[in-house]
Amino acid sequence: MSDFNPAANVLPHPEFHWHIVVSHGEVLCGERGPLHLSAPVREAARDGAQSSTHYLGDWGGKPCAVHHLPFRVELPGCEWRGLRTFLGTVSEALFFLIGRAVQVVNWDLDHRFCGRCGLSTVYHAKDRARVCTSCNFAVYPRISPCVIMLLVRGEECLLARHAHHRHALYTALAGFIEPGENAEQALAREALEEVGLEVGQGPQHLQYIGTQSWPFPGQLMIGYLAEVSGGTLRPDQEEIMEARWFHKSQIPQAIPPAETLSGQLIRTFVERC
């Protein structure tokens, strides 16, 4: 993702070349997609009470900002789009730049007041943080680590349909890492809780595949192929409605796209088999 270089120091702001506009969790798109030059942003920001601007870093060597608007405005030739609509339709680098923009705006909105004493917070002089001037409590953008694992046995993999998923996709299992756990412990616990299966520990049973930023709303996904060592398949019916074993030659069409880590796990399994 060499097109984007994150900002080391977020203040003071440079003179921006690229602009992203976010309001109510959606992104304003024009003829260049979500990236704008200054003209449409000036129009959109007019009379923008409680609007905010954040330096994200450099896109293509040019400084890029995200602007939050407390209300949506309709501009000729522009439309508002949800973050998920960009998945698979723009480059990976641009998708994660947009995701970064939305996450920064959400962090700023959620922490204008101190969660410890209730007083107003101000921006840190250099870091991306909001600081309480009364008790010095600092809040950085929250990133939640998660494991995502494709359970395998020989030439079969376990694919599940999640109870609250918008689309009826067959996908890998996933879950948040709890305090005090490492990624491998969280993987084993989630597999047992969600589908009643045990996974072996150690490099001969767990294959680390990679990580992915997942801005829905702010996760870092850590992906594994995990070999099942025991247990009885029993979906919990709360998180997982259905779970089935699929042979490598019979993977269903309704799986996540290759741009997602879940989709990459499934495709990596098939290729390695």
Percentages helix, strand, coil for the chain (3-state, rounded to 5) are 20, 35, 40
Query: For the chain, what are the domain ranges?
Result: 4-110, 144-272
Q: Which amino acid is located at 216 in the chain?
A: F
Tell whether the model's pLDDT for residue 164 goes beyond 80: no
Measured CA distances, 66 to 58, 59, 131, 255 (Å): 12, 12, 20, 32
pTM: 0.89
Tell whether the model's pLDDT for residue 46 goes beyond 60: no
**Percent of the chain whose predicted confidence (pLDDT) is above 90:** 81
β-pair type (79-82, 138-139): unpaired
pLDDT of 165 reads 72
Q: What is the mean pLDDT of residues 120-147?
A: 96
Q: Report phi then psi at 204, rounded to 5.
A: -75, -15
Mean pLDDT (the chain) is 92
Q: What confidence tier does 40 reach under pLDDT thresholds 50, 70, 90?
A: low
pLDDT of 201 reads 83
Fold of domain 4-110: Nucleoside Triphosphate Pyrophosphohydrolase (3.90.79)
CA distance 227 to 205: 5
Q: Which amino acid is located at 109 in the chain?
A: L
What's the count of helices (H) and strands (E) in the chain, helices before strands? 4, 16
pLDDT of 45 reads 54
Same fold, 4-110 and 144-272: yes
pLDDT of 47 reads 52
Q: What confidence tier does 28 reach under pLDDT thresholds 50, 70, 90?
A: very high
> Taking Cα atoms as reference points, which of 87, 102, 106, 26 lies closest to residue 212?
87
CA distance 243 to 163: 11
CATH no., domain 144-272:
3.90.79.10
Tell whether the model's pLDDT for residue 48 goes beyond 50: no
For residue 248, give the 3-state DSSP assignment: helix
* Structure tokens, 43: 């129009």
Q: What is the mean pLDDT of residues 214-232?
A: 96
Between 74-78, 113-117, 247-251, the lowest mean confidence (pLDDT) is in 74-78
